[in-house]
């Protein structure tokens, strides 16, 4: 795999049972690149290892005054220099290629997993952890994959030097062969402590990142209530904890680095002292002493890669563990469906949408409004209607985002009863869980109450998979986005005359909440799915705009199945059918006006009436006067 060939046509199915297994899976997936890197590394480090022997031969030739042999040694040094230079350049090229391709593979896997899980991902894993995995952890995993081949080549050169010295200068070779393993393994006892400190640093950094993300996302609200200083103080405390943890981690790694400097220096002193005594006794030649000294000095270079691989593994292991934890999450349908069962056939167009768990029926081609007294239940129902079965487990657990996520993963693998007991939503009689994920997402689109706008031009915002039956202009008109287009044009640079070419800032922060909500609604209308599920699509707009949006949705979606979860009378009055959900099941069905007259619970949810107001509304004139008198007397 070359960088120019990225992204992968298929990144594969990762082994996400643990962090080390995930790293091993990545390594097996790049055997070709690792072998190339190893071969170039062996050429480079082999040249480095052969350099001391060539220098020793040159010294012996000078001492023996053999000019021809000295010329041969000069030619050998030239070849060794070429080998070192070419090998180093190609080793760097192939190693960086391994790094980038490994990181790209992990990013592809994370992107696919994010698309598969949807909004359920952030309920299973904290947002800060998702950000940490997709940025810093990906780099650390790639670093380890890249360092493996260099480390193996360094091991090859160390072994070559030690074996060569045993034959070239046996007495010094024994000393070097004993000392090198001691130098290489001396820092191993410190690695567990260094790894723990690094883990603590990354954990605190993830929490600080999550806090910063939440603060930025809610900055407008914080300014409104004067809470900036409070959250600034919290982030300051979190950042100081990260700094303290980073300093403690750096101290340990500095100690390991110091050991890697001091011990090779002691070995070099020992070799020089012992070799000098041997040379004085005439037991070795001067060239042999120079070769041994040069060999030990040269070993300092490959020995640094022993420290690097230890650091790379220590940093990448928890990163791989976090990545594996995210990649191990599955939709319940994928976990429960036997491997040999093929996905169901796509249902015929024009089928009803039915949820067996609640009893909710959305007839094909109708505008159905759903009223839930519990906003959280409405959000879970919206995602369930889109085929996201995993939220049932999350709702039962009430994940806090910072809990024992390893335990969550284990419980998911064992299977949560909330998801297992919940039958799948049916579209045209076919279970959404039995369809291919892409097919289910194409047939049923869910827009939650907090949609996200990506940065880019408005034209790019509407560049989404769509049927082509609804254009951006019609969708923007139905969503009442005229003022949004004017605002985008006013903020656009000179020369931009078409609002479709105006840029939207990150998450649409330059727009108001109502403007962002209407643009997201227009984007959903453009896709024109067979079933469109909207969760509170007008909660941030005024009543006059809301009435026009209700008409726009009804007209644009005529003949298409539309489900809106809302409690606004303006939307409910425009719906063909209104369903009241109470305690997780259908409690009443009818039109908005019918339910207002006959269902007290519906009236309480929609009109926000209190129990006392409902009691007074049901009294006659005489009873009402008596009730008012009682209230005045009690007051």
pLDDT for residue 214: 66
* H/E element, 434: none
pLDDT digit string (tens) for 385-396?
887 654 444 444
CA angle (611, 613, 614) in 5-degree steps: 65
Is the per-residue pLDDT at 128 higher than 80?
Answer: no
Are 108 and 11 in contact, with CB atoms under 8 Å apart? yes
pLDDT for residue 527: 92
| Least-confidence region, from 51-65, 124-138, 198-212, 239-253 | 124-138
| Least-confidence region, from 130-139, 276-285, 584-593 | 130-139
CA 11 to chain centre: 15
Helices (H) and strands (E) in the chain, counts: 27, 12
CA-based end-to-end distance of the chain: 81
pLDDT for residue 591: 94
* Structure token pair of residue 56: 């020793």
Are 525 and 531 in contact, with CB atoms under 8 Å apart? no
* H/E element, 32: helix 31-63
The average pLDDT across 186-190 equals 83
pLDDT for residue 420: 43
- Calpha distance 424→386 (Å, rounded): 10
* Structure token pair of residue 615: 């009691």
What is 544-610 written as a DSSP string?
Answer: HHHHHHHHHHHHHTTTSEEEEE---HHHHHH-SEEEEEETTEEEEEE-HHHHHHH-HHHHHHHH---
Q: Which residues of 444-476 are buried (b: 16+ CB within 10 A; e: fewer)?
A: bbbbbbbbebeeebbeebbeeebeeebebebbb
| Least-confidence region, from 213-217, 484-488, 569-573 | 213-217
pLDDT for residue 227: 59
pTM of the shown model: 0.62
- DSSP percent split of the chain into helix, strand, coil, nearest 5: 70, 5, 25
Confidence band for 228, pLDDT divided at 50, 70 and 90: low
- Calpha distance 144→140 (Å, rounded): 6
Query: Between 298 and 559, where is the model more confident?
Result: 559
pLDDT for residue 230: 72
The average pLDDT across 540-561 equals 92
Confidence band for 191, pLDDT divided at 50, 70 and 90: confident
Is the per-residue pLDDT at 479 higher than 90?
Answer: yes
Is the per-residue pLDDT at 400 higher than 70?
Answer: no
Confidence band for 609, pLDDT divided at 50, 70 and 90: low
The average pLDDT across 586-613 equals 83
| Least-confidence region, from 246-250, 431-435, 605-609 | 605-609
The average pLDDT across 442-450 equals 86
| Least-confidence region, from 38-42, 126-130, 266-270, 608-612 | 608-612
Is the per-residue pLDDT at 536 higher than 80?
Answer: yes
* Structure token pair of residue 430: 């076919």
Residue located via tokens 């249902």: 347
Is the per-residue pLDDT at 544 higher than 60?
Answer: yes
- Calpha distance 58→520 (Å, rounded): 76
Instruction: Report the mean per-residue pLDDT for the chain.
Output: 80
Distances (CA, A) of 291 to 55, 84, 161, 275, 297: 6, 18, 10, 10, 10
Q: Own/partner pairs for 62-68, CB < 8 Å, 24+ apart?
A: 63/285, 63/286, 63/287
Residue located via tokens 């995930």: 22
Are 242 and 132 in contact, with CB atoms under 8 Å apart? no
What is 481-546 written as a DSSP string?
Answer: -HHHHHHHHHHSPTT---GGGSEE-GGGTTS-HHHHHHHHHHHHHHH--SEEEEESTTTTS-HHHH
pLDDT for residue 416: 39
Are 471 and 519 in contact, with CB atoms under 8 Å apart? no
The average pLDDT across 428-450 equals 85
Is the per-residue pLDDT at 461 higher than 50?
Answer: yes
According to DSSP, the residues that pair with 541 across neighbouring strands are none
pLDDT digit string (tens) for 309-365?
888 887 888 888 888 888 888 765 444 444 445 667 788 778 899 999 999 999 999
* Structure token pair of residue 204: 């605190």
pLDDT digit string (tens) for 492-523?
787 788 888 888 887 677 788 889 999 999 99
């Amino acid at each position: 795999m070359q960088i120019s060939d990225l992204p992968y046509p298929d990144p594969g199915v990762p082994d996400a049972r643990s962090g080390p297994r995930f790293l091993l899976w990545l390594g097996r997936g790049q055997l070709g690149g690792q072998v190339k890197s190893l071969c170039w590394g062996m050429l480079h480090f082999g040249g480095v290892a052969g350099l001391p022997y060539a220098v020793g031969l040159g010294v012996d030739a000078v001492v023996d005054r053999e000019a021809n042999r000295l010329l041969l040694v000069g030619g050998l040094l030239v070849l060794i220099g070429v080998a070192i230079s070419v090998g180093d350049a190609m080793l760097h090229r192939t190693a960086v290629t391994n790094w980038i391709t490994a990181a790209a593979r992990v990013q592809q896997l994370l992107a696919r997993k994010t698309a598969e899980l949807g909004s359920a991902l952030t309920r299973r894993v904290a947002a800060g952890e998702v950000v940490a995995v997709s940025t810093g952890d990906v780099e650390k995993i790639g670093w380890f994959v890249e360092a493996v081949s260099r480390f193996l080549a360094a091991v090859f050169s160390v072994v070559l030097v030690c074996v060569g010295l045993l034959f070239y200068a046996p007495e010094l070779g024994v000393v070097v062969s004993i000392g090198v393993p001691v130098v290489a393994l001396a820092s191993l006892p410190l690695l567990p402590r260094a790894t723990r400190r690094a883990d603590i640093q990354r954990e605190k950094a993830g929490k600080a990142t999550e806090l910063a993300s939440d603060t930025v996302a809610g900055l407008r609200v914080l300014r409104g209530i004067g809470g900036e200083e409070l959250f600034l103080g919290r982030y300051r405390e979190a950042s100081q904890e990260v700094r303290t943890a980073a300093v403690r981690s750096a101290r340990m790694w500095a100690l390991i680095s110091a050991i890697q400097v001091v011990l090779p220096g002691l070995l070099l002193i020992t070799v020089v002292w012992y070799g000098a005594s041997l040379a004085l006794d005439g037991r070795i030649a001067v060239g042999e002493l120079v070769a041994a000294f040069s060999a030990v000095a040269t070993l300092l270079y490959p020995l640094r890669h022993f420290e690097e691989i230890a650091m790379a593994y220590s940093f990448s292991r928890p990163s791989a563990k976090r990545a594996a934890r995210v990649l191990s999450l599955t939709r319940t349908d994928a976990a429960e469906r036997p491997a040999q069962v093929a996905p169901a056939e796509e249902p015929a167009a024009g089928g009803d949408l039915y949820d067996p768990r609640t009893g909710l029926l959305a007839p094909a081609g109708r505008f159905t409004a759903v009223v839930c007294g519990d906003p959280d239940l409405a959000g879970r129902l919206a995602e369930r209607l889109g085929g996201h079965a995993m939220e049932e487990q999350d709702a039962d657990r009430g994940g806090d985002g910072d809990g024992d996520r390893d335990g969550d993963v284990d419980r998911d693998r064992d299977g949560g009863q909330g998801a297992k007991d919940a039958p799948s939503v049916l579209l045209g009689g076919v279970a959404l869980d039995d369809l291919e994920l892409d097919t289910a997402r194409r047939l049923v689109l869910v827009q939650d109450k907090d949609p996200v706008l990506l940065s880019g031009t408005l034209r790019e915002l509407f560049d989404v998979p769509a049927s082509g039956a609804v254009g951006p202009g019609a969708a923007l008109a139905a969503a009442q986005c005229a003022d949004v287009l004017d605002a985008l044009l006013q903020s656009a640079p000179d020369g931009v005359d078409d609002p479709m070419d105006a840029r939207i800032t990150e998450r649409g922060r330059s727009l108001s909440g109502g403007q962002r909500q209407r643009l997201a609604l227009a984007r959903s209308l453009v896709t024109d799915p067979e079933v469109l599920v909207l969760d509170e699509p007008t909660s941030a707009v005024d009543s006059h705009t809301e009435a026009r949006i209700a008409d726009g949705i009804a007209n644009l979606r005529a003949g298409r199945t539309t489900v809106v979860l809302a409690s606004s009378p303006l939307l409910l009055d425009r719906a063909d059918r209104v369903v009241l959900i109470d305690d997780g099941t259908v409690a009443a069905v009818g039109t908005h006006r019918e339910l207002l007259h006959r269902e007290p619970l519906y009236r309480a949810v929609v009109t926000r009436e209190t129990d006392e107001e409902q009691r007074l509304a049901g009294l006659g004139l005489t009873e009402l006067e008596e009730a008012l008198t009682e209230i005045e007397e009690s007051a």
